[in-house]
Structures are given as structure tokens and as C-alpha cells.
Amino acid sequence: MSERDITTWKIIEEELGRPSIFRSRESLAPEYVPDTLPHREDELRQLAAAFKHLVINPGSFSQRILITGKVGTGKTVTARVFGRDFTRLARRKGFDIRYIHVNCHRNRTLHNVVSEMAKQLGLSIPLRGLSVKEIYDAILGFLEDNDVYAIVTLDEFHYFASIVGSDNVYFLVRTYDDSHYAVKRLNFIFISLDASSLNLLDPVTESYLLRNMIVLKPYTSRQLYDILKYRAKHAFYENVVDEDALKFIAEYEGVDTGGSGNARHALEILMLAGEAAENEGRGRITLEHVRAAIMKTSREIIDISDAILYSPLHELIVLLSIVRLLRRTGKPYVKIGDVEREYNIVCESLGLQPRRHTQVYEYVMNLKKAGIINARTSGKGQRGRTTLISIHYGPLDLLEKHVEDLISRRLGVVSP
């Protein structure tokens, strides 16, 4: 073994020997199906009511449910959790109900969708060389011969409908319209971003699906906090991530606090923050790790350097005061009163006359409009009402140095 090989061996061995802060990394992955689904209890109840006939009067009709919601609202995981648990409970009652989940973005043709259904049912037929109708008839025959019922979820249905056209959509949606099967064994869940894809369907089918629609709303910051806390408990060892970090992510992403309410994005931020902490050899996830993760994952990140390049001198000093307070306190938010006191101290150290309160407040609002800071009025749990200020992007030490350099350059060319 060469010296290079030994060095490589040592590098890999050392890395494998490092302790991990992750207990179960997959618990934060988009495809993970948790045991519990916080804040989707009502939607699960609606699904159970919709498919209740399968254990009361099975085969009496074919149910078709439409689930809509923006990205990250839990459409896929809600359907998967329901399918998993509903089929388990049905089996205990003596009913053989199968759950099939087809991603229509991956399976982009009707042939691929139907073939995937057959594959998940375990049909022993050659899928190549058979037409869509032949495979579909084989599926219906298998269900009939084996006294099996199925709930088929067509995920990303909006994409499928736009690609394959209305005739192919009819083929699935109206399965039993002209069928000789008296017992209706196939049932469907259609997952779509919105109901616009239904414009491709005939008015009767469109009207039917709209009457059986479950709309998933974006998550609030409180809901996201509960989701993050539940997943973090499974993903990390004890005392790795604290409440402030989880609340920070939840408030950044919560629909009620200016975010999109996207749980998938919130979990991605937590995952990246954990990886950053582990790469640094830290045993705990800090707000700086979270800020760096947000910077890395943000879809519409503002280039802070460009945004503050032409900011007035005192606006830069206010920003510097915010950054220093956040770094010094280690808290996710600081009060505007504390910022103003820090601003006065910085002005004194620079030999500048500080601006009045109204002007400082205006600088804060300008920084907020530019997307550099987040500012909101305090709510419950705070004595009195004040403006709370945070910065979601980081790392803050680099931002502090950058702002300090800008101020130094500005003082060289601008009189106070």
C-alpha cells in the first residue's frame, strides 16, 4: 500500500470515526413518511370519511378525491400516511385493500402510469408489448379474481393532465362508466397544485371532483414549529437543536410571518443546518448554522452586498448595530430600543452625531423593504409593544465585517 493510499485510508477512517449529531437523517428527507402527521388531522379525517365505504359497503361505488395545495403543504405525505394506516386498519377488519402511489412526473405517459399500478399490485404479466387497455384490463381482472380493492393516488396530477391530454385522463377518471364490472374496486386520489388542471376534463367529471376536494393550506409558524420539533426529535440526538433555532426557521417560513408556509423547505433548512454543524465538529445547531442554511436554500435571495452598496451612512450604522447585537446576544430577535442604544454607542465611537428616533425607525423600515432585515411588531408574551428585528441570512460575522468596511470607505469620502 502506497503512502498516498495510507493517507486516504486515514482520512476516511477519521471521518467514519467522528461522532454524528444525526440519529436518523432520513427523518428530514422529503420522501420520509412519519408515524404522526401534525396539523393534518382534519384532512386525514376527511379522507377516512371519503373511503369509509370500502369497509362498510365495499365496491358500491368508485371514490375520486382531489387534494390541492401549494408546494410544501403536505399533500403527498398526507396521502401516503392515510394510505398506509387505512389499509392496515382495513386488513384487521378482513378487507384486502391495497394502496398504490404513482408519481406522474416520473411516470409521464398513460402507459407508464398503468404499468406502475400493475407493478405495485404485483401482477405477473409482461408489461412490454401490451397496450394500455390490456394492462388495465389485467389490473381490473386481478382485483376481481382476488377480491382486492385499491386506492390509487396519482401524484402531480396537474402535470400528468397537461402532458397526456383529456382523452387519457378520461380513461382513468371514468374507469367504470362503461364497465361490465358490477363491483367497483378501483378508487382514486388526485393530487394537484390547484384545480386549474380540471379544465381539461368534461364538465360532469370536473364538477364531481370539485365537490370532493380537500384543500391543504400553507402552514403557519406555530404549525411549522410543531412539525420541526417532532421531526428534530427523531432526526437528532438529545440537546442538539434548541427551541430558538426551531422557532427561527418556523417564523422565517410561516405563512403568517411573511413566508410561504412550506414545510418541505423548513425541513430542508433544518437538515442543512445540522450538516453545517456536524461539518464544523459542533455538537449543537446554532442560529448561525440556520442563517447559513437559509442563505443556501433561499429561492429569491437578495444579494446583500448590492442592496446596501448605496445605503446612507447612518443606515449602514443602524445595520451594523443590529448585526452586533444579534451576535452578542445570540438571540433570534433584538428590540428596536436596544438597537437605537447600540447605534448611539457606535456613532459616539465614530465621532458622529446620531440621528433622532424617527430617522432611526425609518432606516429600519428601509432595511426591511430591501429584504436585508426582518422587522415585526411584538405580540403576546412581550411587555408592551415594540419592533422586533432579526436577520435570517448569515453568517453574521462576515456580514459585520462587510458593513464595517463599507462604513470605513464611506467615512473616507462622505462627511458626517
Summarised one tens digit per residue, pLDDT across range 174-188 is: 888 777 788 999 999
Tell me what pLDDT residue 19 has.
Answer: 76
Q: Give the chain's domains with CATH numbers.
A: 40-216 (3.40.50.300), 219-297 (1.10.8.60), 304-413 (1.10.10.10)
Summarised one tens digit per residue, pLDDT across range 325-372 is: 999 998 999 999 999 999 999 999 999 999 999 999 999 998 988 778
Max mean pLDDT among 333-342, 373-382, 387-396, 398-407 falls in: 333-342
Tell me what pLDDT residue 416 has.
Answer: 36
CB 385, CB 377: distance < 8 Å? yes
pLDDT at 49 over 60: yes
Tell me what pLDDT residue 250 has.
Answer: 97
Q: What is the mean pLDDT of the chain?
A: 88
Summarised one tens digit per residue, pLDDT across range 276-308 is: 999 998 899 999 999 989 888 764 444 566 678
For the residues 311-325, what does the mean pLDDT come to? 95
CB 158, CB 196: distance < 8 Å? yes
End-to-end CA distance of the chain: 67
Alpha helices, DSSP H, located in 157-254: 157-164, 166-173, 203-211, 221-235, 243-253
340 closest CA partner among 386, 299, 408, 304: 386
What phi, psi does 69 have (nearest 5°)? Answer: 165, 155
Per cent of the chain over pLDDT 70 is: 91
pLDDT at 6 over 80: no
Tell me what pLDDT residue 397 has.
Answer: 85
Summarised one tens digit per residue, pLDDT across range 13-48 is: 666 666 799 999 999 988 899 999 999 999 999 999
pLDDT at 318 over 90: yes
What the block records as the C-alpha cell of 197 is 388542471
What the block records as the C-alpha cell of 356 is 433622532
Residue with more model confidence, 340 or 395: 340
- CB neighbour list of residue 24: distance below 8 Å, 6 or more residues apart: 234, 235
pLDDT at 275 over 80: yes
What is the rounded distance in angstroms from the CA atom of residue 316 to the CA atom of residue 304?
12
What the block records as the C-alpha cell of 268 is 430542508
252 closest CA partner among 412, 391, 350: 391
Distances in whole angstroms, Cα of residue 60 to Cα of each of 52, 98, 187 = 11, 17, 11
Max mean pLDDT among 8-17, 155-164, 225-234, 376-385 falls in: 225-234
Tell me what pLDDT residue 4 has.
Answer: 59
Summarised one tens digit per residue, pLDDT across range 189-229 is: 999 988 876 776 667 767 777 888 999 999 999 999 999 99
Tell me what pLDDT residue 174 has.
Answer: 82
Task: Quote the pTM value.
Answer: 0.79
